[in-house]
Amino acid sequence: MAAFDVAIVGAGIVGASVAMRLAPTHRVLLLEGEDRPGYHTTGRSAALFEEAYGPAPIRKLTRASRAFLESPPPGFAADALLQPRGCLFVAPHGRSAALDAALAAALPGSVREISPEQALERCPALDRAWIARVLEEPGSMDMDVAAIHQGYLRAAKAAGTALVCGARVSALARAGGAWQIDTSAGRFEAAHIVAAAGAWADEIGVLAGASPLGLVPKRRTAFVFEQPAYAATMANWPMVVDIDETFYFKPEAGLLLASPADETPSPPCDAQPEDIDVAECAARIEAASALRIARVKRKWAGLRSFVADKVPVLGPDSRAENFHWAAGVGGYGIMTSPAVGRIVAAGVCGQDLPDDILASGLRWPDFGARRLAG
Ligand SMILES: Cc1cc2nc3c(=O)[nH]c(=O)nc-3n(C[C@H](O)[C@H](O)[C@H](O)COP(=O)(O)OP(=O)(O)OC[C@H]3O[C@@H](n4cnc5c(N)ncnc54)[C@H](O)[C@@H]3O)c2cc1C
């Protein structure tokens, strides 16, 4: 019998969430290639919980994750995981049609159109002359990503999960009805494998003999800057996104965090920001507001990994035995992590989707790799 029931490859937010769900009933091994969990995309997000964001299945997963993030189990985290933020989707002149399209896309009931004047009350730095129309989502929240990630890891370890860092998986083979897993920290054995390797998930799939998903890591840049003119008031501003998602900004620990919302395809790597992306974002924000970006305090980039339809691939592979996907969570991986963890765990247990996910109309084929074949 293999030493572990399940080996999860990758200890980012997805792997950690799956580990927490399986640990009470399985012997779980969580393998992380880096020296610490969270080094890659999980540690580089904008930390927004936004039910109006992404394709319809993503919005359902986000909604299905809200209860956990609002009321995590006792002891999961010291403080609240969500804090009110709100979000404005701003359409400049000539882009009214994009706002109408967003309104028609069955967004959560809390999304409503407000006047440009109301938008200026929420964020006085916006330029009235630039704005044509505005949607408001008051329900979007800031997430404490580190607390969520550490909460998953702590709960998983408390239930017996073995977390091994510095263990980069290099080979997978079936032997005696189990998986043999070669890593830079030695060889392990497990009955099931979960590929939660972020930008590297397809590489893990290929090692296991599964067909690659066509996962494309896409670089997204972010940076923070000071804005002394608004320092006293900006903490309560909502996130501001232009309706075509060519920039966003929001308060972040006394600074403003901004992104050009870039999606530049990249090989899996330790992503780094490019000065041109930061400069273009600064110019767009300055054109839409009274904000002036004289100096960037810190900049970074991370890889948001998508398959063709931007819906994650979750659950058992149809070809590789006892091999499970937890991949392609794209730009939604933190806010959907509670639901994604439950779904992948159900797949390992050979169960149907959790009841609330079924009630939302989603089925296993919606997450299966087969849908991508055509
Ligand atoms: C700028 C930016 C803003 C974002 N904003 C938001 C947001 O507001 N809200 C939101 O929900 N999401 C957001 N995201 C997306 C979110 O960060 C990701 O969806 C999420 O972090 C993906 O988690 P993951 O666990 O799949 O990947 P990762 O965090 O990358 O974890 C994968 C892990 O697998 C490990 N690994 C890879 N290969 C191997 C191997 N061979 N052996 C062992 N380990 C391996 C890696 O080292 C890594 O630690 C944002 C992302 C970026 C870059």
Separation in Å, CA 208 to CA 32, 125, 130, 212: 17, 52, 52, 10
Other Cβ atoms within 10 Å of 136 Cβ, number: 20
Q: Hey, CA dihedral for 351, 357, 361, 364, is it positive or negative? A: negative
Assess contact for 218 and 261: CB atoms under 8 A.
no
Assess contact for 76 and 155: CB atoms under 8 A.
yes
Residue 368: both structure tokens together: 């299966």
Query: Per residue in 279-306, is it b (16+ CB within 10 Å) or e — as a string?
Result: ebbbebbeebbebebeebeebebbbbbb
Predicted pLDDT at 110: 86
Atom of ligand 1 nearest to the CA of 49: 9
Pick the residue whose CA is nearest to atom 4 on ligand 1: 45
Pick the residue whose CA is nearest to atom 18 on ligand 1: 333
| Ligand 1 pocket check for 65: Cβ under 6 Å | no
Closest residue by Cα to residue 194 from 311, 309, 312: 312
Predicted pLDDT at 318: 93
Separation between Cα atoms, residue 350 and residue 327, nearest integer Å: 18
Ligand 1 centroid to Cα of residue 219, in Å, is: 11
| Ligand 1 pocket check for 331: Cβ under 6 Å | yes
Predicted pLDDT at 373: 83
Predicted pLDDT at 109: 74
Q: Hey, CA dihedral for 208, 214, 215, 216, is it positive or negative? A: positive
Pick the residue whose CA is nearest to atom 19 on ligand 1: 333
Q: Hey, CA dihedral for 276, 278, 279, 280, is it positive or negative? A: positive
Separation between Cα atoms, residue 96 and residue 105, nearest integer Å: 15
pTM listed for this prediction: 0.98
| Ligand 1 pocket check for 239: Cβ under 6 Å | no
Residues of the chain with pLDDT under 50: none
Ligand 1 centroid to Cα of residue 175, in Å, is: 30
For 327, list phi and psi in degrees, rounded to 5: -135, 160
| Ligand 1 pocket check for 281: Cβ under 6 Å | no
Predicted pLDDT at 103: 85
Atom of ligand 1 nearest to the CA of 337: 11
The 10s digit of each residue's pLDDT in 184-241 is 999 999 999 999 999 999 999 999 999 999 999 999 999 999 999 999 999 999 999 9
Ligand 1 centroid to Cα of residue 304, in Å, is: 7
| Ligand 1 pocket check for 14: Cβ under 6 Å | yes
Assess contact for 366 and 311: CB atoms under 8 A.
yes
Predicted pLDDT at 102: 87
| Ligand 1 pocket check for 72: Cβ under 6 Å | no
| Ligand 1 pocket check for 215: Cβ under 6 Å | no
Q: How many helices (H) and strands (E) does the chain have?
A: 10, 20
| Ligand 1 pocket check for 139: Cβ under 6 Å | no
